[in-house]
């Protein structure tokens, strides 16, 4: 009796084991969650105007609020992730994002919508760096490059689907079901987060609160200034300007303030690093 030869090949010690793509599904859906929310806001603008009886400019404040909060807190979000642990903070922020979308669905006034988008922006400020950190933690080499590329694809897909789904639902049903969809997506992301490789935070990491405050105000000032140059006035304040300084439009004033605070942030960061303390970001 002839015994068949063992054709199994011993694993090369240097060979990389392919990781499961299931965690990446959750990360891609998290990208969809944020991008769909942003894209759905302009689509829902008409429905909110009719529902709340407010002008379009008031509703658009929710869109601006989301972006400003993300820009102001994203650096702090990166530090929080390192301190608390990326998996844990990601899971918490996805849950908070779901709460924000629930506020959107149940919002009795435009103030609730603006508050909901501020909460969603604060969550996204931590989810954004968490996505990159978790991809680096769970994937290596070519899989890592593929995973990062998938985030871009998810962003494009969610933007297109938001216009299609949001437009259809907004016309046939109303704007609220658009954000109800995101609650379901957030629940799916939360459940899939348990497939992510666990990590531990580092309690030794300190957060530069002063630096975070300075750069946060600088980013908000620059964003508001550049976004409102046309409506508030390039130099002389227009009737639409909410405030002016000696007749000068508030937009260039905010831009100058943002530049000054930006320089102050660099001075503060260098001083903190020279004293041996950990800065918000390393200028090196």
In a domain, 78, yes or no: yes
Same-domain pairing of 52 and 134: yes
Write down the mean pLDDT value for the chain. Answer: 83
Give the residue from 195, 229, 248 where a domain finishes. Answer: 195
pLDDT at 185: 93
In a domain, 133, yes or no: yes
* Average pLDDT value for residue range 266-282: 83
pLDDT in tens, 32-81: 999 889 888 888 888 898 888 888 878 888 888 898 888 888 888 888 88
Domain with 154, as residue range(s), is: 22-195
In a domain, 202, yes or no: no
In a domain, 115, yes or no: yes
Give the residue from 195, 224, 248 where a domain finishes. Answer: 195
Tally of domains in the chain: 2
b/e map 84-104, b = 16+ CB within 10 Å: bbbbbbbbbbbebbbebbbbb
Same-domain pairing of 157 and 222: no
Same-domain pairing of 139 and 216: no
Query: Residue 8 above 50 pLDDT?
Result: no
Same-domain pairing of 39 and 165: yes
Query: Residue 264 above 50 pLDDT?
Result: yes
Question: In CATH, what number is assigned to the domain containing residue 96?
Answer: 1.20.1250.20
Query: Residue 188 above 70 pLDDT?
Result: yes
Range of weakest confidence among 15-29, 100-114, 206-220, 248-262: 15-29
In a domain, 85, yes or no: yes
* pTM listed for this prediction: 0.79
The pLDDT-based confidence of 16 (bands split at 50, 70, 90) is: low
Same-domain pairing of 73 and 148: yes
Give the distance, in angstroms, between the CA of residue 30 and the centroid of all CA atoms in the same chain. Answer: 10
Query: Residue 272 above 80 pLDDT?
Result: yes
Query: Residue 195 above 60 pLDDT?
Result: yes
Same-domain pairing of 48 and 77: yes
In a domain, 1, yes or no: no
Q: What is the DSSP string of the chain?
A: -PPPP--PPPPPTTPPPPPPSHHHHHHHHHHHHHHHHHHHHHHTHHHHHHHHT--HHHHHHHHHHHHHHHHHHHHHHHHHHHHH-HHHHHHHHHHHHHHHHHHHHH-SSHHHHHHHHHHHHHHHHHHHHHHHHHHHHH--HHHHHHHHHHHHHHHHHHHHHHHHHHHHHHHHT-SHHHHHHHHHHHHHHHHHGGGSPP----TT----HHHHHHHHHHHHHHHHHHHTHHHH-SSBPPTT-S-EETTEEHHHHHHHHHHHHHHHHHHHHHHHHHTTPPPSS---
Same-domain pairing of 31 and 136: yes
pLDDT in tens, 79-128: 888 888 899 999 999 999 999 999 999 999 998 999 999 999 999 999 99
Same-domain pairing of 143 and 213: no
The pLDDT-based confidence of 17 (bands split at 50, 70, 90) is: low
Same-domain pairing of 160 and 242: no
pLDDT at 41: 87
Same-domain pairing of 53 and 80: yes
Same-domain pairing of 30 and 88: yes
Q: How far apart are CA 251 and CA 240, in angstroms?
A: 11
In a domain, 16, yes or no: no
Give the residue from 141, 160, 195 where a domain finishes. Answer: 195
pLDDT in tens, 39-50: 888 888 888 988
Same-domain pairing of 112 and 249: no
Percent of the chain with pLDDT over 90: 26
Query: Residue 28 above 50 pLDDT?
Result: yes
């Amino acid at each position: 009796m002839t015994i068949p030869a063992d054709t199994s090949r011993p694993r090369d010690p240097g060979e990389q084991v392919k990781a499961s793509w299931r965690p990446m599904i959750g990360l891609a859906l998290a990208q969809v969650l944020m991008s769909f929310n942003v894209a759905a806001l302009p689509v829902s603008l008409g429905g909110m105007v009719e529902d709340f009886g407010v002008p379009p400019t008031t509703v658009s404040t929710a869109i601006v609020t989301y972006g400003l909060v993300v820009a102001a807190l994203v650096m702090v979000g990166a530090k929080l992730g390192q301190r608390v642990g990326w998996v844990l903070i990601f899971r918490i922020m996805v849950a908070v994002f779901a709460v924000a979308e629930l506020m959107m669905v149940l919002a009795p006034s435009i103030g609730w919508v603006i508050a909901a988008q501020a909460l969603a922006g604060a969550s996204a400020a931590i989810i954004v760096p968490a996505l990159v950190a978790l991809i680096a933690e769970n994937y290596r080499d070519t899989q890592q490059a593929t995973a990062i590329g998938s985030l871009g694809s998810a962003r494009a897909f969610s933007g297109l689907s938001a216009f299609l789904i949001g437009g259809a639902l907004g016309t046939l049903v109303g704007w609220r079901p658009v954000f109800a969809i995101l609650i379901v997506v957030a629940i799916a992301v939360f459940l899939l987060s348990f497939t992510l490789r666990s990590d531990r935070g580092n309690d030794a990491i300190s957060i530069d609160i002063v630096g975070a405050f300075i750069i946060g105000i600088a980013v908000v000032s620059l964003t508001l200034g550049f976004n409102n140059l046309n409506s508030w006035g390039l130099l002389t304040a227009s009737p639409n300007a909410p405030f002016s300084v000696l007749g000068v439009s508030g937009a260039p004033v905010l831009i100058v303030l943002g530049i000054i605070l930006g320089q102050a942030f660099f001075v503060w960061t260098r001083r903190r690093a020279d004293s041996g303390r950990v800065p918000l970001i390393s200028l090196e």
